[in-house]
Amino acid sequence: MLAFEYLSEDHKNLIDTFQCEDEFSVELFLKEHAIKLHLMKSAITRLYFDDHQNLVGYFTLYNDLVQIRREQAIHHQWTLPEVKYLPAVKIHYLGVDSRFRGKRYGEYLLLEAIKSAYEISEVSGCNFVTVEAFDNTIEFYKKYDFKFLGRKDRSLVIMALKLD
């Protein structure tokens, strides 16, 4: 089982050891940008540790708005209010240290992020969890019922999970 702590400046040395060799932007965000956004309360980062206090992964969440076109709602069989934008929680980054892959930590972190969004939806409006997925992670998110909404650019796909 993993334990989490909210990111703080006390974690600097642990963060410096984090490696995400296949997607450097995930590593760079944690090392260079996460603490500033966290301290400003713009995006909140949770660090996850194993029983030996190894930093195995993290995710960062922030509030989002998502536009769902009528045809997308029909296609995905979503019943939605008729408004232009719907509230969401965005998974800004989710990463597992390369040395701890293959242990289903990514699944655990994703389920924790979704659980956090459900908890938020109990006290504030929230219809979706959104993510801008790299092409190599699309199938991972599809396994957890995230649906394709469109492309942001050549390397990122916008996906959403409807919270029921």
pLDDT per residue as tens digits for the range 89-120? 999 999 999 999 999 999 999 999 999 999 99
Task: Tell me the pLDDT tens digit for each residue of 58-100.
Answer: 999 999 999 998 889 889 999 888 888 999 999 999 999 999 9
Total structural domains within the chain: 1
Write down the mean pLDDT value for the chain. 95
In CATH, what number is assigned to the domain containing residue 156? 3.40.630.30
Find the domain containing 84 and state its range.
3-162
In 7-101, DSSP assigns E strands to 44-49, 55-66, 86-96
**pLDDT (0 to 100) of residue 140:** 97
Calpha distance 131→135 (Å, rounded)? 12
